[in-house]
Amino acid sequence: MLMLEVRDLNLYYGGFQALIDITLHVERDQIVSILGSNGAGKSTLLKAISGLLKPSSGTIHYNGGRIDHLDPHEIVRLGLALVPEGRKIFSSLTVLENLLIGSYVPEARRTKDEQLENVFELFPRLRERKGQLGSTLSGGEQQMLAIGRALMSQPHLIVFDEISLGLSPVIVQHLYQAVNRIKEKGMVVVLVEQDVKRSLKTADFAYILQEGKISLKGNPRDFTDEEVKKAYFGL
Amino acid sequence: MFTFLEPLINGLLLGGLYAAIGIGLSMVFGIMRQVNLAHGELMILASYFSLIFVQLLGLPPLLTFLFVLPATFILGYLIQIFLFNRVLEKGMESYLMISFGLSIILQNAMLLIFTPDARTLKTGLVIKSLNVFDLFHVPVIYLVDCAAGFLVLGLIHLMMKKTYLGWAIRAASDNLTAARLMGINPKRVYALAMGMAVITAAISGVLVGMTFTFYPHSGTQYLIIAFGVVIIGGLGSLPGTFLGGLILGVSQLVGGRIIGPGFQLLSGYIILLIVLTIRPQGLLGRK
């Protein structure tokens, strides 16, 4: 069964059409990558999926149910979590409080202690800093916190929006190891990235966006460099 | 030197009450970035509501909390749901106008229903006073006011620190988008926060009604006190609100002792202006 299905999605941002006839799907046990240069529409697509923006036409189905008309707080209750672009952690909350608020949805509260342990195991650095305010963490630690926070909601599908942005290669390596471990635990992973090489290595399936449209899709191992460049920049 | 001990101690005690008056305004600003101009009227509404039970059932004012608190919580919740949630994310002007309109409606409603007569919530605590080492007197009601102030702020602090609702409120205040992605429904959380802010207004309203006389128009002077507390202490800071209350209380009473009893309010405002000049964000303010 399809975990996530986007069909013929169109979205207008003011007068400008940010998404044009987007159709993509994500199956169970997959890591799917969504790539594209700045302004290609990746973030807009994720905002539509997570409910922050409403599409003008087209549908989004999650686990068989339609979600394109739902509010973000309803969507996360269904098991779809987003690690937002720019991390967006809560700066006046401590690391621990940031994680605990991740388990806000009633379904996740029961297992919060167990989930907390899992997150600390995945990111020991967070355990060390659990009493610290979110704003005092480094970029890499904030990214770990944002991921941990999303995990606390017990999602079945988790979307990572540009987790490598502004971080050093060593930290990005560590984060991607965590992403792989998350996939091994049975969650479906959608990676949105500008870092092409890394995400093409990790993904089972990839979509490349260009100016709001899907310009290339398929198994990334089959892509040639030429194809990717063309899909990215349209030259 | 001892002549200042009485206004100092009493000012501190009164400051506890002022902190309780200010916390509701501070919460609404800290959480929703809005200024509720009806805050004073909501306080006095609670005073009148308590009055009804005191006169109808002969209850001591403090016991009326049993009825007043749940009722005002629901009122605050409904006000947020049906009035203020309609203008979420639409800037401050709409909210200011709605809250101003609400204050006018409430004031006039109270005037119509209760007449302009001076009222008070009669309690034996007002007459009693403590004789402290023969140096000065402390009205017992001031002790009750201060204790209530501590209690209110303490409970709010605990709620913010230790409950899911508290974390949700703080998260929504830090980053609303991210909060929504956590499953937080802004409309519902704001309504609960408003309910709590109005409860604090109700508590301070009843205490004010016990400590001083009140009229339908008394809301305005307490709104100004709330502003004073929040400006001095700092917007969005709970310890700041407490500090602001203490400083305002002491400024009023000590200033009144130095300059003259009619100058209490002025002394408070002078200190307010000084703080506004040298540290506009308030002593402990950050936003």
Query: What CATH topology corresponds to A1-79+189-235?
Result: Rossmann fold (3.40.50)
Q: What are the structure tokens assigned to B8, written together? A: 């100092």
Task: Report the residue from B173, B175, B183 with minimal CB separation from A105.
Answer: B183
**A104 with B180: Cβ contact below 8 A:** no
Residue of B nearest to A74 (CA): B183
Instruction: Tell me the pTM.
Output: 0.90
Contact residues on chain A for B164, CB-CB shorter than 8 A? 100-101, 104, 109
Q: What are the structure tokens assigned to B94, written together? A: 């709409």
Task: Report the residue from A76, A91, A100 with minimal CB separation from B181.
Answer: A76
The pLDDT value recorded for residue B74 is 97
> Position of tokens 């919060």?
A112
The pLDDT value recorded for residue B53 is 94
Asked if the model's pLDDT at residue A199 lies above 90, the reply is no
The pLDDT value recorded for residue B190 is 96
DSSP per-residue codes, A127-181:
HHTTTSBGGGS-HHHHHHHHHHHHHTT--SEEEEESTTTT--HHHHHHHHHHHHH
pLDDT digit string, tens, across residues A101-159? 999 999 999 999 999 999 999 999 999 999 999 999 999 999 999 999 999 999 999 99
Contact residues on chain A for B180, CB-CB shorter than 8 A? 51-52, 71-73
Residue A154: what residue type? Q
For B2-116+136-278, CATH number out of 1.10.357, 1.10.3470, 1.10.1060, 1.10.287 equals 1.10.3470
Q: Enumerate the domain spans of chain A.
A: 1-79+189-235
Q: Which residues of A touch B (CB under 8 A)?
A: 50-52, 71-73, 76-77, 81-82, 84, 88-93, 97, 100-102, 104-105, 109, 149, 153
Q: What are the structure tokens assigned to B23, written together? A: 């916390």
Please say whether the beta carbons of B236 and B32 come within 8 A: no
The pLDDT value recorded for residue B287 is 53
* Residue A2 main-chain phi, psi, to 5 deg: -80, 130
Task: Report the residue from A82, A93, A100 with minimal CB separation from B181.
Answer: A82
C-alpha span between B121 and A118 (Å, rounded): 56
**A153 with B175: Cβ contact below 8 A:** no
Contact residues on chain A for B167, CB-CB shorter than 8 A? 93, 97, 100-101, 104
Please say whether the beta carbons of B172 and B31 come within 8 A: yes
What does each of the 287 residues of chain B score in pLDDT, given as a tens digit?
667 888 899 999 999 999 999 999 999 998 998 999 999 999 999 999 999 999 999 889 999 999 999 999 999 999 999 999 999 888 899 999 999 999 999 999 999 999 999 999 988 777 777 777 777 788 888 999 999 999 999 999 999 999 999 999 999 999 999 999 999 999 999 999 999 999 999 999 999 999 999 999 999 999 999 999 999 998 778 899 999 999 999 999 999 888 888 888 899 999 999 998 998 888 887 65
Residue B8: what residue type? L
Task: Report the residue from A84, A93, A97 with minimal CB separation from B181.
Answer: A84
C-alpha span between B257 and B261 (Å, rounded): 6
When pLDDT is cut at 50, 70 and 90, the band that residue A53 belongs to is very high
C-alpha span between A148 and A116 (Å, rounded): 8
Q: How many residues does chain A have?
A: 235
* Separation of CA A166 from chain center: 16
C-alpha span between B105 and B181 (Å, rounded): 37
Which whole number is the average pLDDT over A209-216? 93
Which whole number is the average pLDDT over A86-104? 95
Task: Report the residue from A84, A93, A153 with minimal CB separation from B171.
Answer: A93
Please say whether the beta carbons of A63 and A156 come within 8 A: yes
C-alpha span between B284 and B270 (Å, rounded): 19
The residue of A43, A90, A116 whose CB has the most chain B CBs within 10 angstroms, and thus the best one to mutate to test that interface, is A90
* Separation of CA A66 from chain center: 19
The pLDDT value recorded for residue A196 is 83
Contact residues on chain B for A104, CB-CB shorter than 8 A? 164, 167-168, 182-184
DSSP state of B91: -
Residue A69, Cβ density class (10 Å: 0-12 exposed, 13-18 middle, ≥19 buried): exposed
Find the distance separating the first CA and the last CA of chain A, reported in whole Å.
Answer: 36
Contact residues on chain B for A93, CB-CB shorter than 8 A? 167, 170-171, 174
The pLDDT value recorded for residue B1 is 62
Question: Quick count: other Cβ atoms within 10 Å of Cβ B266?
Answer: 15
**B174 with A91: Cβ contact below 8 A:** yes
Residues 6 or more apart in contact with residue B177 via CB below 8 angstroms = A52, A84, A88
Task: Report the residue from A51, A90, A100 with minimal CB separation from B178.
Answer: A90
CA distance, residue A76 to nearest chain B CA (Å): 6
Asked if the model's pLDDT at residue A1 lies above 80, the reply is no
ipTM attached to this prediction:
0.92
Residue of A169, A175, A99 lying closest to A134 (CA atoms): A99
CB pairs under 8 A between A and B: 69
Residue B221: what residue type? Q
**A90 with B171: Cβ contact below 8 A:** yes
> Which SS3 state, helix, strand or coil, does residue B137 take?
strand
DSSP run (H or E) holding B230: helix B219-233
The pLDDT value recorded for residue B229 is 95
Strands A16-27 and B136-139: unpaired
Question: Quick count: other Cβ atoms within 10 Å of Cβ A157?
Answer: 22
C-alpha span between A161 and B184 (Å, rounded): 20
Q: What are the structure tokens assigned to B47, written together? A: 């005073």
DSSP run (H or E) holding B46: helix B39-57
